[in-house]
């Protein structure tokens, strides 16, 4: 076989390449747009509403041409995914219907809460039912202020969610008695807000907080050591063996005393407990892990619960309105578990909790007991913790404390010379 001369080969290559210089057109794929329920519904008609006051699942679904027999089968076969007999008034739902004359239901969505929802997918011959969640964006925010009336009032006046007050009280539950916070106390908080689109749907973690109580600074820094926990600047855990108080946001109406005038009996006798005045029905929590020793009506103590925490510590809760569901002698409780509700049973002039604490069987003033901290940051983790600590503290240091209006007015009045 004869070989072509080299110049012929080069010519053919060059000529062939020169004939293929036209660009191949790029076909762009159409963008798929999904809605908040992660569905492509741009060709469907949308209907949104809220569950009526007395509406049932049948009332909601039947107008979309779903038969009662089909609805019964859905309810009966999907209990493990969601029990549609428990739809709640006010919750939102959405229906997506074909835009033709048949107006067939393609998707039905019921919102369990602002984030989670259930999808009924009718697009196939077999109904597909599943749970899903909306996309949540997390935004870090800071707020600060001084206490004039209450922590709740201060936070809401700054535009923050009142839920933040509850979250802060839980973070500092072992360091600060929130029944004793006073005007002039201050706080700085770095926390997360959760959004779906532009709608605030809840709070995330408190990342860092500084709370100044009676001139003493308390820090809480979120750090993951096996599990998320809060630590102070030195790496000590804020979590203690016992809570600072057995209930939230009330006031101490009577303290520990060896001689108190009893409001009903009208003579002086020891009161080896702390009275927390609170509305009837306020939840009462176990101050620590333990086992229920007593759950009974005890004369002047009324409905009474006694918890043995270990060989040293015991706590008692008196005048309860009622006990927590399922609570009985021998029940194991965890710190923070609700064990009953504030009442006025026994010798009592009004709803309150008489809380008592015992060390080796002897009553003590709970407010004066010093408990050791829980597990600190491990030595091998301390350098990483220190880096996180410094970063969070730098953010808090840049947050200026907003002074209450009443304090500003008082400061102006003090600095203004009196007219002679």
Considering the domain architecture, whether residues 219 and 304 belong to the same structural domain is answered as no
The half-sphere exposure of 29 on its side-chain side, counting CA atoms within 13 A, is 3
What domain count does the chain have? 3
Considering the domain architecture, whether residues 260 and 362 belong to the same structural domain is answered as yes
Considering the domain architecture, whether residues 311 and 404 belong to the same structural domain is answered as no
pLDDT in tens, 248-302: 756 675 544 444 444 544 444 456 788 888 899 999 999 988 899 999 999 889 9
Alpha carbon 221 to its chain's center: 17
346: left (phi over 0), alpha (psi -120 to 50) or beta: left
pLDDT in tens, 74-83: 998 888 899 9
Residue 218: CATH number of its domain: 3.10.450.350
Considering the domain architecture, whether residues 273 and 179 belong to the same structural domain is answered as no
**29 token code pair:** 């794929």
pLDDT in tens, 104-147: 999 999 999 989 999 999 998 888 999 999 999 999 999 999 99
pLDDT at 189 over 70: yes
Choice among 40-54, 226-240, 372-386, 401-415 with the minimum mean pLDDT: 401-415
3-state SS assignment for residue 345: coil
**Domain final residue, candidates 87, 105, 133:** 133
Query: What's the pLDDT score for residue 238?
Result: 87
Cα dihedral 86→34→36→204 (10° resolution): 120
Q: What are phi and psi of 286, to 5 degrees?
A: -65, 130
Considering the domain architecture, whether residues 364 and 260 belong to the same structural domain is answered as yes
pLDDT at 10 over 80: no
Considering the domain architecture, whether residues 340 and 397 belong to the same structural domain is answered as no
**Domain final residue, candidates 107, 133, 159:** 133
Residue 341: CATH number of its domain: 2.70.70.10
% of the chain with per-residue pLDDT over 70: 82
pLDDT at 420 over 50: no
157 inside domain: yes
3-state SS assignment for residue 245: coil
Query: What's the pLDDT score for residue 96?
Result: 96
Considering the domain architecture, whether residues 304 and 358 belong to the same structural domain is answered as yes
Distance CA 212, CA 171 (A): 14
pLDDT at 71 over 70: yes
Query: What's the pLDDT score for residue 28?
Result: 66
From first CA to last CA, the distance across the chain in angstroms is: 126
Mean residue pLDDT of the chain comes to: 84
Cα dihedral 294→299→301→302 (10° resolution): 80
Instruction: Name 267's Cβ contacts closer than 8 Å, sequence gap at least 6.
Output: 261
Query: What's the pLDDT score for residue 162?
Result: 86
4 vs 326: which has the higher pLDDT: 326
124 vs 372: which has the higher pLDDT: 124
pLDDT confidence band for 226 (50 / 70 / 90):
confident
Distance CA 134, CA 131 (A): 10
132 vs 370: which has the higher pLDDT: 132
Which residue shows structure tokens 């630590």? Answer: 231
Considering the domain architecture, whether residues 148 and 226 belong to the same structural domain is answered as yes
Q: What domain range is 120 assigned to?
A: 44-133
Query: What's the pLDDT score for residue 160?
Result: 87
153 inside domain: yes
Considering the domain architecture, whether residues 333 and 389 belong to the same structural domain is answered as no
């Amino acid at each position: 076989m004869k070989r072509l001369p080299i110049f012929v080969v080069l010519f053919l290559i060059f000529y062939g390449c020169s004939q293929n210089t036209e660009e191949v057109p790029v076909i762009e794929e159409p963008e798929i747009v999904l809605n908040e329920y992660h569905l492509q519904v741009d060709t469907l008609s949308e209907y949104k509403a809220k569950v009526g006051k007395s509406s049932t699942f049948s009332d909601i679904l039947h107008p979309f041409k779903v038969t009662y027999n089909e609805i019964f089968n859905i309810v009966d076969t999907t209990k493990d995914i969601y029990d549609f007999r428990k739809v709640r008034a006010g919750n939102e739902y959405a229906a997506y219907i074909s835009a033709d004359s048949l107006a067939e239901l393609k998707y039905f969505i019921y919102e369990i809460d602002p984030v989670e929802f259930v999808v009924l997918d009718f697009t196939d011959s077999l109904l597909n039912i599943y749970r899903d969640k909306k996309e949540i964006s997390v935004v870090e925010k800071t707020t600060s202020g001084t206490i004039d009336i209450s922590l709740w009032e201060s936070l809401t006046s700054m535009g923050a969610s009142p839920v933040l007050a509850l979250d802060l009280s839980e973070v500092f539950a072992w360091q600060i008695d929130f029944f004793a916070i006073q005007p002039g106390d201050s706080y700085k908080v770095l926390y997360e807000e959760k959004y779906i689109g532009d709608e605030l749907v809840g709070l995330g973690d408190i990342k860092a907080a500084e709370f100044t109580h009676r001139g003493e600074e308390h820090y809480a820094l979120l750090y993951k050591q096996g599990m998320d926990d809060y630590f102070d600047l030195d790496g000590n855990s804020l979590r203690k063996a016992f809570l600072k108080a057995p209930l939230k946001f009330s006031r101490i109406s009577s303290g520990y005393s060896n001689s108190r005038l009893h409001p009903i009996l009208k003579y002086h006798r020891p009161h080896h407990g702390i009275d927390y005045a609170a509305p009837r029905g306020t939840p009462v929590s176990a101050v620590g892990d333990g086992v229920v020793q007593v759950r009974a009506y005890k004369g002047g103590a009324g409905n009474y619960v006694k918890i043995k925490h270990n060989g040293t510590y015991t706590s008692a809760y008196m005048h309860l309105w009622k006990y927590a569901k399922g609570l009985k002698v021998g029940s194991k409780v965890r710190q923070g578990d609700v064990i009953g509700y504030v009442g006025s049973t026994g010798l009592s002039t009004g709803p309150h909790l008489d809380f008592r604490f015992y060390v080796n069987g002897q009553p003590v003033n709970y407010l004066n007991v010093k408990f050791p901290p829980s597990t600190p940051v491990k030595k091998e983790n301390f350098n990483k913790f220190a880096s996180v600590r410094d970063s969070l503290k730098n953010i808090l240091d840049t947050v200026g404390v907003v002074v209450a209006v009443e304090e500003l007015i008082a400061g102006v009045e003090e600095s203004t010379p009196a007219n002679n």
